[in-house]
Chain A
C-alpha cells in the first residue's frame, strides 16, 4: 500500500510517528535542560562533594607524594625528607593562606590539627634554615637575587638533576605571579635554599652546572639542620606519628571518610572502626529521624482516616465545606503554621494557659510541649495531615458504599464489614498517603528547627548545621547523600504503588 506521495504506507506512518515523537521531545527539552542545570546538577555536585578530598593533595603535593612511601603502621615518624617537603609545602601554603583551611579540614578527622596548622603557619618563618642562605650569600652575593635562580632553572640539565628544588622554585614563581609579582625580582627565601641544600648535599647535580657546584662547596662546611626537630620545636605534636598517620590516611583525592563519619565510623591505621562512644551521633540521629517520621506517619493515618472517611461519605455539599478545613491548612504558609504551634505549645502559650485556667495543670507545673520530640511530632502531624487526607479521600471516594451495606445484609457486624470489606479497599490510599508523609517528614528542616529544641531535631538540621556553621561541607554532603538514597528508594516505591502521574494536589 502506498501513501499519497508514493512512499510505502508503513514507512510514511513510521515517519509521521517519528515526527510526533520529535515534536514532543522538543517541547519537553527546554524544561528538561532547565531542571538538569538548576536542580540535577546541584544534586550531582553534592554527591561529588561527599567523596571529594582534593584539598590535602592540592595544599601539600610534595609531602603527599613522599609520604606515600612511608609505612604508616610503624610507630615511627616519617623520614626527614617528608619533613623537608612538608616545610616547603607549608611555606607555600602559608603564602596563599591555605594552611588554615587545610587545618580546618583535617581537624574534622583529628581534633587539634586546626590549631596545630595555625601555630605552625606562624612559627615556620622562624626556622633556623637562614644559615643555609647566609652561607650561600657569603659565597656569592648574587645568590640572593631571584634572577640568579631564574637563570639557573632555565637550564634543563639542572632541572632534571634537582627536581625538588626546581618544582619548589616553579611553585614559588606561580604564587608570586598570582600576586602580580615577578620571582626574578624578589629576594630569595630560606625554604628554597633549604630545598637546594637537601638535594645538593646528597651530591645531586654535581658537575651539571658551575653554580650548582659553587653552592655545593658553600654548603660543605655547614652542620645540617633537622627540619623534623624544627617542627617539633614549634609544637610537640609534629613528633607524634598519629598526626602523620592522619595526613597519610586523608591524602587520597577521593575518600569514603565522610560516609564512614556519617555512620559513626572512622578510618584508623588499623582499618575501619567505630568512633568512640561520645562521638557517635549520626546513627542515633538517623534512627531518630526514621522513628519520629514513622510516629508522625502513623498519627497522620490515625487522624486522617476518620476525616477522609467522613468526607467521602457525607453529602457532596457538606463534604466540600468541610474540605475547606483540610485545604486551608494545606494552603497556609508553613511558617505560619509553625509559628502558630510555637504560640500554642509554649510554656506561657495558649494550651498551657487554658489548662492552667481550667485548673487541670498547676501554674508551676506547666507542661513542656515545645523544644522536644512532642513539639515536633504534634506540629509536623498537623502540617502533614492534609497530605494523608487528600490521597485517602480520593481513594475512598471510589469505594461504593453499597459494598458495606451488602456485607451487613449478609450478616457481617459493623466491624467485620469495615475490616474485611472496606479497609482492604482503602489500603492503596493509606499506602500512597503514608509514603508521601514519610518522604516529606524525613527531610523536614524548618519545623524541627523551630519547635524541636535539641532532642526533637532531625538529620536535616545536622546537615544545615554542617553547611552553615561548622563548614564541614563534605560531611554535610555525605549525610545528604544517605538521606537522598532513602528518599529515592521510597520515591521509587511510591511510583510503583501509586504512579507519579496520579499525584493529586488539593482535589
Chain B
C-alpha cells in the first residue's frame, strides 16, 4: 500500500526514550527472573537506549545494526538462560532492532492518515497490541498442545530437556500409545463408524427439508424453522438427559443405532443453516427452465439443482460430521461402553487417568480441523463463485 503520509526521520529525544522504556520492561522481566527486578529495569533501559543511539547516530546503517541487536541480545540470553535464553534473546534483539529503525525513520506514520494527532497514533498502535494479545489468547492453547504431545516424559508441561531442545526430550511415544492401545483404537473405530452414518442421515433429511423450506410458500415456516434449529440451541445436557430417558424406554439406549440417531438430530441444524443459506442465492428459473425442457423433478434435482448447491451441502455435512465427531455429552448418556468414542475416551482420560496420549490425540484432531476448515473455506469461495456473488 502506498504511504498516506510522507515520512521523515525523528529526533533522538523521541525514539531513544521509547526504546529505552521497552528495554526497561524487558529488563524488568529478565531482572525478576535473575533475582533483582529493579537492577534489570535500569540495565535494560540504559543498555537498549544506548544501543538505539549508537545504531542510529553513530553506525547509521540499518541492516548491520539490526543483526547486531539480534546477535548481542542472543549472546546475552545464552549467558543468562542457556539455549532457551538464546532463542528468546534473539527474538528480543530482532524486535528491538526493528523497533529502533521503525521509530527513527518515522515509518509508523506511513500508513496512517496525516491529520492524526500523536495521541491518536499512540492509541492506534495500542489498540493493535491489545488485539494482538487477544489473538494470542485465542490461538495459544491450541499451539501449546502440539509441542507438548512430543514430550518424552509423562508430563503435561515442558520439561527442561524440551526447553534445551535436546533430542531425548522429545519422542513419539504418545502417538505410539495412541496407535497401539486398544482403548484408543476402539474409540477411534467407534467415532469413525458413528460420525459418517450420522452425517449421512442429517445431510439427506436436512437437504430435502432445506429445499422445501426455501420455496416461497411454506406455511408455518418460522415455527418449523424454530423446531429444526432447536437441537443446536437446547443445552446438550438436556438433550442428553431426554434422549437417555426416552431411548432407554424404546430400547435404543446403548446401541450404535441410538447414538447415530442422536448425533444425526444434533447435526441437522447445521445442515439446514448452511443449505438454506446456499439456496438463498439459487436462481429458481433454472429449475423451471429444466422442467420446460422436459426434465422430471428428480432429474432436475440431481442434474441442475444439486450440482449448484453441492458446496453448501458438503460444508453442512462437514459441520454435521464435526458435531458428531466432537460430541461427548450425548454419547456419554445414550451410548454404553461399547460405543465409546474418541471424545469420550479423551473425557475419561482427562477426568481419571491423566495420560499425555490425550495431547497426541488433540494434535491429530487439530490437524484434522485445519483440514476441515480449509475445505469449508474453499467450498464457500467456490459456492460464491458458482452463484456469481464474487468475481474470480
Which A residues form the contact surface with B (CB < 8 A)?
Answer: 17, 20-21, 23-28, 30-32, 34-35, 38-46, 49, 303, 306-307, 310, 315, 322, 324-329, 331-344, 346, 348-350, 353, 357-360, 382, 385-386, 414, 439, 442-446, 449-450, 460, 463-464, 467-468, 473, 476-477, 480, 483-484, 487, 491, 494-495, 500-501, 503-507
Say yes or no: A445 contacts B209, CB within 8 Å: no
Please state if A43 and B35 are interface contacts (CB–CB under 8 Å): no
Complex: A58 Cα to B107 Cα, angstroms: 83
Question: Is the pair A28, B33 in contact by a Cβ cutoff of 8 Å?
Answer: no
Q: Beta-carbon contacts of B349-363 to A below 8 Å, as 1s and 0s?
A: 011000000110010
Choose among B156, B238, B372, B380 the residue that contacts A348 (Cβ–Cβ < 8 A).
Answer: B156
**Pick the contact of A483 from B120, B142, B230, B238 — CB < 8 Å?**
B238
Q: How far is the CA of A336 from the CA of B325 in the complex (A)?
A: 12
Given A42-B247, A468-B333, A505-B273, do A339 and B350 touch, yes or no (CB 8 Å)? yes
Which B residues are CB-close (under 8 A) to A477? 241, 245
The answer to whether A328 touches B370 (Cβ under 8 A) is yes
In the assembled complex, the Cα of A467 lies from the Cα of B139 at a distance in Å of 35
Between A and B, 21 residue pairs with Cβ closer than 8 Å are A28-B209, A43-B242, A306-B127, A333-B325, A334-B326, A335-B343, A343-B144, A343-B156, A344-B144, A359-B32, A382-B141, A439-B235, A443-B237, A450-B347, A460-B237, A468-B333, A473-B245, A477-B241, A483-B235, A484-B234, A491-B230
Q: A46-B241, A349-B157 are in contact. Are A21 and B218 (CB under 8 A)?
A: yes
B141 and A414 form a contact (CB under 8 A): no
Q: Are B362 and A359 in contact (CB under 8 A)?
A: no
> By the criterion CB–CB under 8 Å, are B227 and A32 in contact?
yes
Q: Report if A35-B227 is in contact (Cβ < 8 Å); known contacts: A306-B134, A358-B29.
A: yes
Not counting A332-B366, A333-B362, A349-B156, a sample of 20 additional A-B residue pairs whose C-beta atoms are within 8 angstroms of each other reads A24-B218, A35-B227, A38-B261, A39-B239, A42-B243, A43-B234, A307-B138, A310-B128, A322-B135, A328-B369, A328-B373, A336-B145, A343-B359, A359-B37, A360-B32, A484-B238, A487-B234, A491-B233, A500-B225, A501-B225
Which residues in A have their C-beta under 8 angstroms from that of B376? 331, 506
Within 8 A of A (CB), among B138-172: 138-142, 144-145, 148, 155-158
Chain A residue nearest to B124 (CB atoms) is A414
Q: Which of A25, A35, A487 contacts B219 (CB 8 A)?
A: A25
Q: How many residues on B have C-beta within 8 angstroms of the other chain's C-beta atoms? A: 101
- A507 — which chain B residues lie within 8 A by C-beta? 377, 380
A contact patch SS:
helix
- Is residue B95 within 8 Å, beta carbon to beta carbon, of the partner chain? no
CB closest chain-B residue, reference A490: B233
Does residue B276 face the partner (Cβ distance < 8 Å to A)? Answer: yes
CB distance from A483 to the nearest CB of B (A): 6
Q: Shortest Cβ distance from B258 into chain A, in angstroms?
A: 9
Chain A contacts of B325 at CB under 8 A? 333
A49 to B238, CA, bound (A): 13
User: Are A450 and B351 closer than 8 Å at their CB atoms?
Assistant: yes
**C-alpha spacing A484/B231, complex, angstroms:** 12
Nearest CB on A from B382, distance (A):
14
Nearest to A379 among chain B residues (CB) is B141
Cβ contacts B18-59/A at 8 Å (1 or 0 each): 000000000001001111010000000000000000000000
Q: How far is the CB of A500 from chain B (nearest CB, A)?
A: 5
Q: Which residues of B sit under 8 angstroms from A358, Cβ to Cβ? A: 29, 32-33
Q: Determine the residue in chain B with the shortest Cβ distance to A507.
A: B380
Q: How far is the CA of A34 from the CA of B270 in the complex (A)?
A: 15
Across the interface, name the chain B residue whose C-beta is closest to A353.
B157
Bound form: Cα–Cα A453–B257 in Å? 34
**Most chain B beta-carbon neighbours within 10 Å: one of A329, A335, A385, A491:** A335
| Closest beta carbon of chain A to B223's beta carbon, Å | 10
Instruction: Kindly provide the distance from the CB of A155 to the nearest chain B CB, expressed in whole angstroms.
Output: 41
Taken together as a complex, chains A and B put the C-alpha atoms of A484 and B233 apart, in Å, by: 10
B142 in contact with A20 (CB, 8 Å)? no
Identify which of A303, A473, A495 contacts B226 (C-beta below 8 A): A495
Interface membership of B268, Cβ < 8 A: yes
The 7 tightest CB contacts between A and B, nearest first, are A443-B235, A27-B212, A42-B242, A340-B141, A359-B32, A31-B209, A42-B246
CA distance A31 to B261 in the complex (A): 12
Which of B208, B222, B232, B274 lies in contact with A30, CB distance below 8 A? B208
B238 near A480 with CB under 8 A, answer yes
CB distance from B154 to the nearest CB of A (A): 12
Docked complex Cα distance between A506 and B239 (Å): 24
The answer, among A17, A39, A341, A494, for a CB contact under 8 Å with B231, is: A39
Given the complex, which residues of B lie within 8 Å of A443, measured CB to CB?
234-238
Q: Which residue of B lies closest to A43 (CB)?
A: B242
The answer to the question of B264 belonging to the interface, with a C-beta cut-off of 8 Å to chain A, is yes
In the complex, chain B residues whose CB is within 8 Å of the CB of A503: 229, 232, 273
Q: Answer whether residue B322 sits at the interface, using C-beta atoms and an 8 A cutoff.
A: yes
B327, chain A: closest CB distance, angstroms: 9
A450 to B352: give the CA distance in the assembly, Å.
10
Our pick among A339, A487, A494, A505 for the contact of B319 (Cβ within 8 Å) is: A505
Query: How far, in whole Å, are A445 and B37 apart by their CA atoms in the complex?
Result: 43
Q: Which residues of A contact B213 (CB under 8 A)?
A: 24, 28
Beta-carbon contact of A348 and B366 below 8 Å: no
Option from A30, A45, A338 in Cβ contact (under 8 Å) with B205? A30
Contact of B333 among A23, A446, A467, A504 (CB under 8 A): A467
**Neighbouring B residues of A310 by C-beta, 8 Å:** 127-128, 131
**Are A446 and B347 also in contact (CB < 8 A) when A306-B134, A382-B137 are?**
yes
Task: Name which of B138, B144, B240 has the most chain A CB atoms within 10 A of its CB.
Answer: B138
B142 touches A332 (CB 8 A): yes
Residue B197 is within 8 A (CB to CB) of chain A in the complex = no
A440 to B, closest residue via Cβ = B235
Bound-state Cα–Cα, A506 to B380, Å: 10
Closest to A332 in B: B369
Do A31 and B359 contact each other (CB < 8 Å), given the known contacts A303-B134, A344-B144, A484-B238?
A: no
> CA of A23 to CA of B208 in the docked complex: distance in angstroms?
11
Instruction: Choose one: B235, B351, B366; the contact of A460 (CB below 8 Å).
Output: B235
Question: Do A487 and B358 have beta carbons less than 8 Å apart?
Answer: no
B233 to chain A, nearest CB (A): 5
